[in-house]
Each structure stands twice: as structure tokens, then as C-alpha cells.
Amino acid sequence: MQIEILNETTNLLAEDLKELIVKATDKVLECEGFDVEGEVSILFVDDNRIKSLNNEFRHKNEVTDVLSFPQYDSIKDDGLNEPFIYLGDVVISLEQAKRQAEEFGHSIEREIVYLTIHSMLHLFGYDHMSDADKKEMREKEKKVIRSLKLFKGTSMQED
């Protein structure tokens, strides 16, 4: 899987963080049994940019932490016959991620990896609109986080 990480902010993304993003993305793909060649892009933006995108695509004129733009309605139904699959785009507000990390009492790295996992699951068609869907999505998120040995309050370095 090709993972394109782009950064429109003035903050530098550490190489360690980029490696964790790739590991998290790969782990979601593994958990979903996805072994087709493909690509996903992950874009880091500031609050103003994500607010603009949120307003444009979701008609919500507010800052959000992450937006997911899947290429397919259901990748498992629509895309698996293709030799190369573009999964979609992920947009993460670095500023909002920092605020949430502080609020939840863990590192910015852990929050960004969580948002990456969450958004990748959206690209696979998971959602959290109903209680049952939310429960399923949270269980998948926890499974990936545990497999990466990422625990609340840690700096996310594997033992």
C-alpha cells in the first residue's frame, strides 16, 4: 500500500510519527484482510482549512478533527476486483488533534494515530451513526491500537 503523507501546516511531522502512521494504516489493512495494491493519502491541515472542507462537504461550518473521503461506498463490494485501488483521502487537523490529546491526557502522536485508524475504518465503510455501528467501529479501533501497543497516557513507543 502506498501511503502519501502531506502536510499543509507550518509544523513539521517527525519521521517517527510518519512511521507510526504507516504502521497504523498497515495494521488496519491487515485487520480488514486487504491485500490489494493501492494508495491512500493523509493530509495534515490547520483548523481554518478543515473548517472550510467540513463546510464544503458536510455543510457544517465548524472545526472537526478528521475528515474521510472514501473512493468507494463499500470497498469490499465495489473495489476488490481492481488491480490497484485508491482507497481515498484523509484530512486531519493538527491543531484539533493537539487539543484533543491534551483533553484526553495522552500524546499528540497517539491522538494522530487514533485519528488515522478511525479515518481508515471510514474508508472501509464503517461508521458510527447507530449504537451498533459505533460499537463495531470502536472494537476495531481498540483492536488496532492494542496490536500497536498504544495505550492511553503513553508516548506510543513500542516496547
157 lies in a domain?
no
User: pLDDT tens digits for 94-104?
Assistant: 999 999 999 99
Grid coordinates standing for 47? 483548523
155 lies in a domain?
no
pLDDT greater at residue 103 or residue 78: 103
Please answer whether residues 77 and 40 qualify as being in contact, where contact means their C-beta atoms are separated by less than 8 angstroms. Answer: no
In this model, does residue 112 exceed pLDDT 80? Answer: yes
156 lies in a domain?
no
pLDDT greater at residue 73 or residue 13: 13
Q: Tally the residues of the chain.
A: 159
154 lies in a domain?
no
34 lies in a domain?
yes
C-alpha dihedral (108, 109, 111, 112), degrees to nearest 10:
110
Give all strands (DSSP E) within 2-157, no chain letters: 2-7, 37-45, 66-70, 84-93
pLDDT band at 152 (very low <50, low <70, confident <90, very high): low
Percent of the chain with pLDDT over 70: 91
Q: Check residue 72 and give its pLDDT.
A: 84
Number of structural domains found in the chain = 1
Grid coordinates standing for 146? 492494542
Give all strands (DSSP E) within the chain, no chain letters: 2-7, 37-45, 66-70, 84-93
Q: What's this model's pTM, rounded to 2 decimal places? A: 0.89
112 lies in a domain?
yes
158 lies in a domain?
no
pLDDT greater at residue 41 or residue 150: 41
Task: Tell me how far apart the alpha carbons of residues 135 and 49 are, in angstroms, rounded to a whole number.
Answer: 30
pLDDT band at 83 (very low <50, low <70, confident <90, very high): confident
Residues 6 or more apart from 126 whose CB is under 8 A from it? 133, 136, 137, 140
Q: Check residue 69 and give its pLDDT.
A: 97
Pair type for strands 84-93 and 66-70: antiparallel
Give the CATH number of the domain where residue 27 resides: 3.40.390.30
Please answer whether residues 122 and 40 qualify as being in contact, where contact means their C-beta atoms are separated by less than 8 angstroms. Answer: no
For residue 82, the enclosing domain spans 2-147
81 lies in a domain?
yes
Phi–psi pair at 2, nearest 5 degrees: -90, 130
